[in-house]
């Protein structure tokens, strides 16, 4: 079990900074996923940023707009935590 995700910050270049409770920060690049059908809705940059959140205890996008955790796109938290730690570039 990995530490809890406490914050996600999407950027204009389709990456998301993911902050864990233990202080680790990773940067997840969503661009390679945008060609997959399930992620295609996130190609609209404003929508990508606006719907980015934490659901199901991980990085997710609230596709329904109703905070329905069964109708979101999410990324496996193990995948996120295994990424190399980065220094925050958004200040």
Instruction: Give residue 91's pLDDT.
Output: 53
Average pLDDT of the residues in 39-67: 95
Q: What is the CATH number of the domain that holds 39?
A: 3.30.2020
Host domain of residue 65: 5-81
Instruction: Give residue 2's pLDDT.
Output: 80
Confidence of residue 1 (pLDDT cuts 50, 70, 90): confident
Tens digits of per-residue pLDDT, 58-76?
999 999 999 999 999 999 9
The β-bridge partners of 73 are 61
| Number of domains within the chain | 1
- Measuring CA to CA, which residue among 9, 4, 36, 33 is closest to residue 21? 4
pLDDT of 88 strictly over 90: no
- The answer to the question of residue 37 being in a domain is yes
What's the rounded Cα separation, in Å, for the pair 62 and 52? 7
Q: How far does the chain reach from its first CA to its final CA, in angstroms? A: 30
- The answer to the question of residue 89 being in a domain is no
- Against a cut of 0.95, is the pTM above it? no
Tens digits of per-residue pLDDT, 6-42?
999 999 999 999 999 999 999 999 999 999 999 999 9
């Amino acid at each position: 079990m990995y530490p809890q995700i406490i914050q996600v910050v999407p950027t204009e270049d389709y990456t998301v900074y993911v902050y864990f409770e233990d202080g680790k920060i990773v940067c997840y690049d969503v661009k390679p996923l945008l060609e997959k059908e399930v992620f295609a809705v996130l190609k609209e940059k404003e929508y990508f940023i606006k719907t980015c959140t934490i659901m199901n205890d991980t990085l997710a996008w609230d596709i329904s707009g109703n905070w329905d955790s069964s109708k979101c796109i999410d990324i496996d938290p193990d995948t996120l935590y295994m990424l190399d730690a980065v220094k925050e570039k958004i200040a």
